[in-house]
Amino acid sequence: MSARRIGYLRVSTAEQRPDRQIDGLRHICDELHIEKISATSKRRAVYESVIAGLQPGDFFVIWDLDRAFRSAKDALVELDRLRERGIEIQIANLSIDTATPYGMLLYTFVSGLAEFERRLLSQRTREGLAAARGRGVRLGRPPKMTAAQIKTARKKLAGKHATTASVAAFYGVHPWTLRRAINRLDTQLTDA
């Protein structure tokens, strides 16, 4: 049986398209397997199935390193496991083939570089969010109720003639959302 080239493609969300990966891999792979899930998910069913189905002499082919592996350590550990089974990895867009000494060196280097890039992006994101908060920018989903609505709801509830459920229904929010909004307002008033 000749060596097979089994392609694994991943996109993080259903809205993302794997077209770039498909175009890059379809002419060099015997099979393509597409997964739509975040790389950080604990279980990736398609990935696990592809890895389990590989046979000695096969190549596990990916377009980019980050499409299959979560970290440099993950990439190197998986490479060791696959090589013990007689399976090599190919990163198509970089022409890296771990069957060669040169390919092994580049794979190790690229794994570290990808990890560095992920950490740098994460650091920049945290710094950008902190800078935005420092300028008073409100981050996240917009509030479901305005400050005026929360104050009015608080007055209604203080009058004891209304229930949390009825006031929440009036504003079209869950009672828990209303309670949390009032608690947040009370905390702001106490801190002021």
The catalytic site residues sit at: 12
d(CA 99, CA 116): 25
Element (H, E) at 118: helix 101-134
- Per the structure block, which two tokens stand in for 144? 């479901």
User: What angle do the packed helices 164-171 and 175-191 form, to 10 degrees?
Assistant: 100
Strands (E), 81-168: 88-91, 96-97
CB 88 within 8 A of CB 60: yes
Alpha-carbon 133 to chain mean position: 23
Any bridge partners for residue 145, and if so which?
none
